[in-house]
Amino acid sequence: MPSTVVHLAVGGIVAAALLGDDFDRRSVAVVLAATAVPDLDTFAGLYLQGTHRALLHTLLLPLAAGALLAYDTRVRETSWLRDHWGGRGVHVSWVAVAALLFGGVLPDLMTNGVNAFYPLYDRFLTVDGELLLSNQRGVVQTFVDLSPPEKAPSTTQNTHYWTGVDPSRGDEPEDVERIFPVVRSGFQTLVVLLGAFTLGARFRDR
């Protein structure tokens, strides 16, 4: 599973790509903070079993944030955000919502799953597979599997994603090993390096 470091690297790339003239330390900090929000449900899982990768990893979170932002800035006669922070605040907020989605939630959805529509629909889903063009088989994809499920669906009742904070469901022994991943593959290492390089290059340009 992607570590928080990997999530922040993706969020940094989003910030570097979308902040434009509003790129500075404060704006980047806001975007990276939004990126890290979903991983806070690691701590919720200590008290509400099964809610890690569910409570804040739901796609409903960026959807709700985007809807609230759109209402404030495009529907209301007077925007609270624009009155307090101007056009810059509106721009940075939209970039933060994008980073929340693309850096905070989607990397986990694409790796080993999130409870994508929790709490409306309690089911862990994973978008994983491959798309091939074969000269013999034509278009081959494994993202959508229409075969009958071989086991019960994963829900908050029967699923636990381990973390260094909460290695297993329930109480752990005192000598339990707590692992806090940084990178878990060469590709994740590339993402982290790309994020650091991209942010560094933007700060250097300024």
Predicted confidence band of residue 168 (pLDDT cuts 50, 70, 90): confident
Q: Where are the domains of the chain?
A: 4-205
Q: What global pTM score does this model have? A: 0.93
Structure-derived torsion over alpha carbons of residues 104, 106, 112, 113, reported in degrees to the nearest 10: 100
Compute the distance between CA of residue 206 and CA of residue 190 in angstroms, rounded to an integer. Answer: 24
Instruction: Find all residues with CB under 8 Å of 78, minimum gap 6, and list them.
Output: none
Q: What is the pLDDT of residue 199?
A: 97
pLDDT tens per residue, range 87-117 = 999 999 999 999 999 999 999 999 989 999 9
